[in-house]
Structure 1
Amino acid sequence: MTTTLSRLLVLLTALGAVLVAATGPAHAHASLTGSSPADGEVVATSPERVELTFSERVSLTGDQALRVLDPAGERVDTGEITDLSADGVVRHGVALADGLADGTYTVAWQAISADSHPIAGAFTFSIGAPSETSVRLPAQGPGGSTAGTLYDLARFPAYAGFLLLTGGAAFLLVCRPGPAVRPHLQRLMLAGWTTATAATLALLLLRGPYTGTGLRDVVDTKTGTALLCRLLLLGAAALWVAALTADRARGRRARAALAGTGVLLAPATAATWALAEHASTGPWSWLAVPADLVHLLAAGAWLGGLAALLALLYRSPVPVPRAAVRRFSRLAFWSVVALAATGLFQSWRQVGGWDPLLSTRYGQLLVVKTALVALLVGTAWISRRWTARLADPPAGPAPDAPDAPDAPDAPHTPPPAPDGPDDPARRAQLARQRAAVQRTRRQRDRDRDSGRTGLRRSVLAEAAIAAAVLAVTTALTGSTPARTEAAAGTSATAPQPLSLQLPYDTGGPHGRGTALIDITPGVTGENVLHLRLEDPEGLPNGAEEVRIALTLPAEDLGPLRYEPAHVDVGHWVADDLRLPRPGDWELSLTLRTSEIDQTTETTTLTVG
């Protein structure tokens, strides 16, 4: 490969890595959809456990996976996480110590999504009444550190190496370009194997810091197992490549045996991605995993084969036979068909509609990838036209033969007579002159064949676009699927508990203060109301009688009357509060602090 081409490919690889880095760390692919107690909820008594509900399967391993901290920052959970999932609902819980005191408690959790990405979060709930808390959790979750950035970057060469390895092997076995180009394809496959192996090893070592777990915990996870299996399969692939490019592999039986082995190795290696990433989660995963295998193998045959063709067009000592180029053209066509079919299925599965396609990061990256693939197919169509114009190289002795005759019009200066029949210096001079003549002939043949010149240019353009496609694809695998992000957005915008502060003054000596009202979950239907009375110094305040009335003037509904139960000093609870319709409700609070001191305060609350 020429120096200019090598520099260009290095530049494309660097640009691909920059694009992957610019997309930021991988986002959560599962989300917390609910909890008990809920975020911000105030419960009357100490709960027996804390439960978390997720949108997809997750793995909670390690001592820090689920912690419950009291206002002083001390753990009050037992540390033994229980899987409570049932009927398609993903739920995990941890038991709490008995008789927890009143105050605000913090729940901190971190987990691994089923598609290998770390997620984390925290929320608070209160027992009896909210309080100050000393808990300070880190703002940055797993995946956002330097290790997370390096992990995301290492994914690009892992994919690229796999494509080069499988594409070079497919080109050699299917297109049969001839023994003269075998060393160049061997170097391409060796480069792909080295890149994929080094990147996989880096991913395995970075996995622990990336997820915030130890190496032993990493190995026990689905992703860690997949990375270890990939290393073992790449070790077997090294022996396979050595056998494939050996002289004894040129027989028909040997080639058939090696092809059969490759048919087993390539899908098994691709499965280490399909079984550990997006395809393994979400709807229709039983079909998505084999579809992802086909997608990866088709990408290897097309894009990796494209890299092999590019290397031969610029590096091969002989012109690539027209038959080999046409075989690759057919292989690329059917690979594109397979890519389109599996890509459409995966897009429908991960996006699910037009709105997420344009409103989510995953959908936007998918649009960019689709545009790049369309451009790549257009460039490939130009390459097919150049392929149709190719002429076979002239028949004659191979250029590498030592007795190849010079062409009539080749520049050649007859060598001077040697000083002696066994003069080593003269023999070396003759060899250099013969090599120069051969290089001149090859360059002349390439320049005269306009079809090959046009094909080299179009294939080079294809390789440049393919590098961008690979970078966007890598970014896609590190992004939250659109359907998950849309679901998480819906959950995030769900109505929050309603909180009201209502000053009051009954006129008595201890009748002034503030009423704190919390209504959970603050939506239509059944709710729980907590009422706390505080005096001007913020201390609990008493009352002899408390009544609440709710009216919806817009629909002439109400008043709905409630008498909350007294549960503690300055604390009342109505656990049967019902808001049958959305709208602006008027809440009337009646407080009596003595036989004659009483007041009714009114405020408005909006129910979605």
Structure 2
Amino acid sequence: MNTKSLTLRWNKRHWVLLTSLLLVLCLVMPQWASAHAYVVKASPEENELLVTAPQRLTLEFNESLQTAFYNIKITDPDGNQADDGNVQIDPQRPHILETGLRSGLGDGTYTVSWKAVSADGHPISGAYVFHIGEPSGSPAGLKDLASGSGAAGGPLKWIVSFTDWIQYLGLSVMLGILAFLLLRIAPASLQREPMDVPGSYKLLWISYGAASFAALVSLPLNTLYESGVDLNQFSWALIGSALKLTSFGQIWMLQMLIALLIAVTLLSGYDLDRTIRVRIWSSYGTLLLVLGWLLTHAMTGHPAAAEQRVLAVTMNFVHLVAAAFWIGALTAMAVCLPLLTNRLPAKVRGEIYWVTLRRFMAWGMGAVAVLVATGIYGSLVILPAPVLTSLFTTAYGLVLIGKIALLVVMLVFAGYHTKRAKAATGERLSRSLKAELAAGAIILALAAILTHLSPGQPASAGPYQGTETTEDGSVITLQVSPNVTGENQFEVSIKRADGSVVKDLEQVTLSLTHLDMDMGIYEITIPKNETGIYKADDYISMPGNWSIKVHALTRSLDALDAEFSIKAAKP
């Protein structure tokens, strides 16, 4: 049976069955944790009014925290330190962050700001207030604190994503070239021995060098990212803490060991003084080490915080390997294959070229099936419910849409290449293969970005405006601008059923309740005025879903009530 008929049989039968089976498994497997760590309960609660000063402040998170780069700062109404400086993660309950408070604290409003590193390796931070006795008003500078429970990092997050992307690219090219050499994608007639492929040695070393350099500089970059310190505060002690106390530091040391071993096996695989058997086995060793390096990446990010961590990491690893093989083997098709076929007599170059492409398509279809199935699975379990809503309303979902769109572009190119390979006519596919490869490189960039995005963080939807009608026909309108964590303007207007503005209100009260975290109720009171438009500048402390209840009381003691749901984003 020739390669072409084998490819067609798999195309019609086995790949459809395999893809269907994987998709069914995706739908029946359980979910894992879908976002960075966030506060589920605080004591004292947000905006809680206490009669006496508490002795301790406790923050309970939805998942474990890493034992490095965490802190809680509590300041009194005058801006002085109110905590005792003894911040710790409970050894028996690693999802609890707590600190003691100083004795003799007076009445007023206290500010709590905290930071930590979640189990998935992402820095998180937040701020809120509580009151002892009579509140003293919103503290100055509260809006400048890291509000909410979201990832920190700023521009540094994108630099870290860039180093991840370079590693993905380098490892993909290495995996694809090695697969091209060792899996005999090219017919045996093209090669005197598996390692005899023009350009392969140079490509392997270039991709290895790029991946190794990116991994090397990722240590100080990730240390800065996770610790949240300024560049002038960076020190070797911070790097030591990252290596000893964070999951990234431990994985980084493993990556460096793998990188050193790869250098040895690469040199051995192309050492002409060694036997062909030793060279081939050395190259298989390089292939296994590249897979090990990809596994270290699969062990970081969102799967690291999963309840079923082994399953999450396994699915992520398979997804990474499928993508890396497809993109890396495309590199071999675009760069090495033309150089290899040019060795042959002109009359047989075309035939061998198309046979090689058909062999690659047989492998490629398997990689695509696995890639699509694991991608759908990851989307279903990482994005918070409802999945379709999260897909279009979160930054994670929007980037994922871009990744899916580029995957469709790659599939279109793959279909075109498959058709040409079956026909075995026409010029070589140099330009279209490179175009497909470019789309794959961008997909890897988006994958690196997704690693550092929170699936639960809504994308900015702009200012909010909603209208509700009460039982007596009155219309209550609420506007929140800019509808992000930090300082916002809340505006309420109320009209009667006949369209006239209600001006005889004693006060309007807004009650804010976070729907994703147990942080209590935060109230904003707007006193009466003569305009009929009620405005207040106050803050939203956390991103996510909020319920805002509007309660208006008229001079005749009639109550007008309405409830609104908003999604606040990070600025």
Give RMSD over aligned pairs.
4.0
Query: Which amino acid in 1 is paired with 2:416?
Result: I
Task: Tell whether 2:389 aligns with 1:363.
Answer: no
Structure number with higher relative contact order (C-alpha < 8 Å, ≥ 6 residues apart):
2
**How far apart are residue 373 of structure 1 and its match?**
1.0
Q: What percentage of aligned pairs have identical amino acids?
A: 27
Tell me the distance in 2 between the aligned counterparts of 1:585 and 1:145.
38
Contact 1:29–1:113 (CA under 8 A) maintained in structure 2: yes
Contact 1:157–1:199 (CA under 8 A) maintained in structure 2: yes
Query: Which amino acid in 2 is paired with 1:32?
Result: V
Contact 1:182–1:245 (CA under 8 A) maintained in structure 2: no
Contact 2:158–2:449 (CA under 8 A) maintained in structure 1: no
Structure 1's 334 and 493: CA in aligned 2 closer, same or farther, altered over 3 A?
same
Contact 2:123–2:153 (CA under 8 A) maintained in structure 1: no
* SS class of match (1:121): strand
Using the size of structure 1 for normalisation, the TM-score is: 0.62
Query: Which amino acid in 2 is paired with 1:478?
Result: H
* SS class of match (1:72): coil
* SS class of match (1:341): helix
Task: Tell whether 2:95 aligns with 1:70.
Answer: no
Contact 1:115–1:281 (CA under 8 A) maintained in structure 2: yes
Tell me the distance in 2 between the aligned counterparts of 1:163 and 1:83.
39
2:37 to 21, 24, 30: 30
Match of 1:57 in 2: 64
Using the size of structure 2 for normalisation, the TM-score is: 0.66
Tell me the distance in 2 between the aligned counterparts of 1:606 and 1:84.
43
- Structure 2 residue runs of 5 or longer lacking an equivalent are 1-33, 230-237, 460-482, 486-505, 526-547, 564-571
Task: Tell whether 2:318 aligns with 1:294.
Answer: yes
Contact 1:148–1:209 (CA under 8 A) maintained in structure 2: no
Match runs of 1:164-243 below 5 Å? 164-175=173-184, 177=186, 178=191, 179=193, 181-211=196-226, 212=228, 214-219=238-243, 220-243=245-268
Match of 2:335 in 1: 311
Tell me the distance in 2 between the aligned counterparts of 1:79 and 1:129.
25
Match of 1:398 in 2: none
Structure 1's 528 and 54: CA in aligned 2 closer, same or farther, altered over 3 A?
closer
Match runs of 1:8-407 below 5 Å? 29-59=36-66, 61-62=68-69, 65-83=71-89, 90-131=95-136, 133=139, 138-139=144-145, 143-175=152-184, 177=186, 178=191, 179=193, 181-211=196-226, 212=228, 214-219=238-243, 220-247=245-272, 251-252=276-277, 254-256=279-281, 258-259=283-284, 261-262=285-286, 264-316=288-340, 317-318=342-343, 321-322=352-353, 323-351=355-383, 352=385, 353-390=387-424
Tell me the distance in 1 between the aligned counterparts of 2:368 and 2:46.
48
**How far apart are residue 102 of structure 1 and its match?**
1.0
Q: Count matched residues.
A: 432
**How far apart are residue 194 of structure 1 and its match?**
0.9
**How far apart are residue 92 of structure 1 and its match?**
2.0
Query: Which amino acid in 2 is paired with 1:209?
Result: L
Structure 1's 271 and 478: CA in aligned 2 closer, same or farther, altered over 3 A?
same
Tell me the distance in 2 between the aligned counterparts of 1:116 and 1:586.
45
Structure 1's 522 and 160: CA in aligned 2 closer, same or farther, altered over 3 A?
closer
Tell me the distance in 2 between the aligned counterparts of 1:337 and 1:32.
38
* SS class of match (1:59): coil
Tell me the distance in 2 between the aligned counterparts of 1:200 and 1:80.
35
Deviation digits for residues 250-302 of structure 1, max 9, x if unmatched? 7356524642x245413321122111212222454331101111111122211
Match runs of 1:450-599 below 5 Å? 451=426, 453-482=427-456
* SS class of match (2:450): helix
Match of 2:21 in 1: none
Contact 2:42–2:60 (CA under 8 A) maintained in structure 1: yes
Match of 2:567 in 1: none
- Structure 1 residue runs of 5 or longer lacking an equivalent are 1-26, 391-449, 487-491, 495-513, 533-581, 589-599
**How far apart are residue 243 of structure 1 and its match?**
1.9
Contact 1:386–1:454 (CA under 8 A) maintained in structure 2: no
Deviation digits for residues 150-189 of structure 1, max 9, x if unmatched? 2232222121111112221121111364258534111111
Tell me the distance in 1 between the aligned counterparts of 2:511 and 2:432.
66
Tell me the distance in 2 between the aligned counterparts of 1:519 and 1:466.
48
Structure 1's 337 and 271: CA in aligned 2 closer, same or farther, altered over 3 A?
same
Tell me the distance in 2 between the aligned counterparts of 1:363 and 1:65.
31
**How far apart are residue 228 of structure 1 and its match?**
2.4
Tell me the distance in 2 between the aligned counterparts of 1:529 and 1:203.
41
**How far apart are residue 203 of structure 1 and its match?**
1.3
Deviation digits for residues 390-429 of structure 1, max 9, x if unmatched? 4xxxxxxxxxxxxxxxxxxxxxxxxxxxxxxxxxxxxxxx
Structure 1's 522 and 263: CA in aligned 2 closer, same or farther, altered over 3 A?
closer
Contact 1:83–1:91 (CA under 8 A) maintained in structure 2: yes
Tell me the distance in 2 between the aligned counterparts of 1:335 and 1:92.
43
Match of 2:8 in 1: none
Deviates more, 1:324-333 or 1:104-113: 324-333
Tell me the distance in 1 between the aligned counterparts of 2:251 and 2:209.
18
Match of 1:408 in 2: none
Tell me the distance in 2 between the aligned counterparts of 1:517 and 1:389.
73
Structure 1's 80 and 274: CA in aligned 2 closer, same or farther, altered over 3 A?
farther
Match of 2:469 in 1: none
Structure 1's 242 and 370: CA in aligned 2 closer, same or farther, altered over 3 A?
same
Structure 1's 248 and 29: CA in aligned 2 closer, same or farther, altered over 3 A?
farther
Contact 1:29–1:480 (CA under 8 A) maintained in structure 2: yes
Tell me the distance in 2 between the aligned counterparts of 1:521 and 1:462.
48
